[in-house]
Amino acid sequence: MKTRSIVGGIVGALLLLPLAACGSDSGSGSDGGGDGNVDQTDGIDTDLPDGGPQRIVAQSTVAAALTQLGLGDRIVGTFGPLNGPDGGVDSQANGLDPESVTDVTGAGDYGDIDEEKVAELDPDLVITSSYLEGDYWYMATNIHDSLAKRYDIVAVSYDGLDLVEQLDAVEELAGELGADLESSEVTDGRAAFEAASATATTLGQQLTAAGKTAVAVSGSTDSYYVSNPAVSADLNYWVETLGLPIVVPDNPDPQGYFETLSWEESDKYNADLALYDDRQGEAGLEALKAQPVFATITAAQNNAFTPWTSVYPATYAEAATLLNRFTTAAQGLL
């Protein structure tokens, strides 16, 4: 079987192509032939059941996005985060019902998948995502190579895409899999995103005029991290397109994701509102508040915190909800 990378940002250009057209030396089927490589491709295998695959195993964030786009009844198994640190569904999988799917996440290190559980589910298709070519979200390379011998695997590539391109890539995939992209749940999501963006644009002008700023942060035992909007699709959209005044660190790490500081330096960027990475839950927020130097910045002094969901189901509806959460918090600064 073959892994295909659905590359977003080419709206309307996804075509259903046979595996041979995607660089495979053999046709599809159960005769193996999976070489574990990722080829940039225009679509997915035509040898799927009529109406799209009926049994999908997917990384939980992608599975949640497909569920929000109307394909929840096709999702039989997931791997990756399901339950959040504070109980309930993890923000990375918002929209999924953990009780309705089989969790095939393995018991080993990051990226482990229980292949026996996958086999029991007998999926038509396995789906994950990729932020860097050849690096699959919650799927280790050896696991990918093993699964690719038995199942078709689609990876949604977010590498180099802006927020809207990412959202469109997932919608296109959903459409290829049989979702009705003109259903009310999909079109309402797009409309909500447009409305949220308009509200945020006005707010950005007001915040800038008032000299108010926000900063996206997280921490570990020894280090304080200031996220770089330039490499975060949502924050970059908020800053560059909507004009929201969010701190851009001046010395990001080599990969560009954030600037790493000691806790003694955590007052380097003063801001009026702190977005805290919600993957650590309330414990992460309390750890931030407990740091004495960080406690001196304006946001901490005023207890002005709001969650930032850095990884979430890539749908317009979800993006609108998270943007509205930020604007609601930021309006309190005026």
In angstroms, the CA 229 to CA 290 distance is: 25
Q: 186-331 falls under which CATH superfamily?
A: Nitrogenase molybdenum iron protein domain (3.40.50.1980)
Q: Which residues pair with 57 in a beta bridge?
A: 77, 126
Name the CA radius of gyration of the chain, rounded: 21
pLDDT digits (tens, 9 = 90+) for 246-268: 999 999 999 899 999 999 999 99
Pairing, β 214-219 against β 273-277: parallel
What is the reported pLDDT for 56?
96
Q: Of the given ranges (6-20, 132-146, 167-181, 295-309), which has the lowest mean pLDDT?
A: 6-20
Sequence ranges of the domains in the chain: 3-180, 186-331
Q: Look up residue 148 and give its two tokens.
A: 């690719």
- Please determine whether the domains at 3-180 and 186-331 fall in the same fold group of CATH: yes
Question: What is the DSSP secondary structure assignment for residue 83, as one 8-state letter?
Answer: B
* Overall CATH class of domain 3-180: alpha beta
Q: Which residues pair with 232 in a beta bridge?
A: none
User: Residue 132: pLDDT band by 50, 70, 90 thresholds?
Assistant: confident
What is the reported pLDDT for 44?
45
Q: Are 113 and 120 in contact (CB under 8 A)?
A: no
pTM of the model: 0.86
pLDDT digits (tens, 9 = 90+) for 169-216: 999 999 989 999 999 999 999 999 999 999 999 999 999 999 999 999
Q: What is the DSSP string of 217-268?
A: EEE-SSEEEEE-GGG-HHHHIIIIIT---B---SS--TTSSEEEEEGGGTTS
What is the reported pLDDT for 45?
43
pLDDT digits (tens, 9 = 90+) for 67-99: 999 999 999 999 999 998 878 899 999 999 999
